[in-house]
Amino acid sequence: MATVLVSETEKLYVLHGVQEDLRVDGRARMDVRPIVVETDLVTHTSGSAHLRLANSDILVGVKAELEATTPARPTEGRLEFFVDCSANATPDFEGRGGENLATEISQALARAYQSAHVFDRRQLGVLAGQQCWVLYVDILILECGGNLFDAVSMAVKAALSSTRIPKISVTAVDGGEPELELSDDPFDGAKLDLRSAPILVTLLRIGNFCVVDPTPEEEACASAGVVMGVNVQGHVTMTKKVGSGSFHQRGLIEALKNGTAIGVELNRQLLNKLEEEDLQGYQRPKFGFLS
């Protein structure tokens, strides 16, 4: 995470606010800041999304490429996540400063999407044992305002939900390999089923209580935290401990319970927003900086 300088007095102020369930910005411990998301903003991509969570600004683009299948999964495609921490987001990301964070986020996303119950990779299959779609998900962190795991995961889900896989027809050739014909119509494609795809929810322990959607100042005050992948059905797809501190068993169970409930609600609201944009189609107004 980006480094924020917080004095001991400020840390004590944050701690007391969390204890009283009244955080510095006026939220309760389990309140999430407003989220703004738009899709289909970037041209020359199969899908894209721009998301703002307070001061965290995330841009995601998805490119679909035809590649050979793997021997272990001959009927499935693949997802590849790449995170770029822009030096404009925070001075800490200059040079190679953001590489460790980028690796952590991409690995967390890969683990969250690993289960076939949350994302069926057979949707990306073309020719069993020969060809499949590989989705390259490129994530650019434009500004860092805290809670990057959650913001990135919601932007990724929105971008994948807007992704169209081009229509392919397979023609048989006498005595040769099958030929693939790709449709020239950019609108002649199918969207992926992302209803069960997860998002990440971060809970940080400050004192004896956990908070969701932490600010950079709260991240600097936290001793430990847990990042969990949750889908709209409430299934937990991954967990990851962050920070050098520890959890008591009862506190960890409560954190996972709260994180699951918040993840279900955030997924529901995100899906409703994406369905609303889908109904409006290409006639919907676009307000993003790339519109």
- Does pLDDT of 207 surpass 70? yes
* The pLDDT of residue 2 is above 60: no
**Cα 207 to Cα 31, 64, 224, 241, 243, distances in angstroms:** 18, 45, 10, 16, 13
pLDDT at 176: 67
- pLDDT value of residue 288: 57
Q: How confident is the model at residue 261 (pLDDT cuts 50, 70, 90)?
A: very high
pLDDT at residue 282 above 90? no
pLDDT for res 242: 92
**pLDDT above 90 (res 92):** no
Q: 41 with 290: CB under 8 angstroms?
A: yes
**Structure confidence by residue, pLDDT tens digits, 137-189:** 999 999 988 899 999 999 999 999 999 998 888 777 666 677 777 777 767 77
Whether the predicted pLDDT of 73 surpasses 60: yes
Most confident of the following: 184-193, 223-232, 280-289: 223-232
The pTM is what?
0.91
* pLDDT of residue 129 exceeding 90: no
Give the pLDDT mean for 78-92: 85
Q: How far apart are CA 7 and CA 205, in angstroms?
A: 18
d(CA 180, CA 169): 6
Mean pLDDT for 70-89 is 89
What's the mean pLDDT when you consider all of the chain?
A: 89
CB 31 within 8 A of CB 237: no
Task: Say how far apart CA 112 and CA 118 lie, in whole Å.
Answer: 8
* Residues 6 or more apart whose Cβ sits within 8 Å of residue 235: 117, 118, 196, 198
In this prediction, what percent of the chain has a pLDDT beyond 90? 67
List Cα–Cα distances, 226 to 35, 203, 205, 246, 247, in angstroms.
21, 5, 9, 10, 9
Q: What is the CATH number of domain 8-283?
A: 3.30.230.70
Q: What is the mean pLDDT of residues 83-91?
A: 80
Domain spans of the chain, in order of start: 8-283
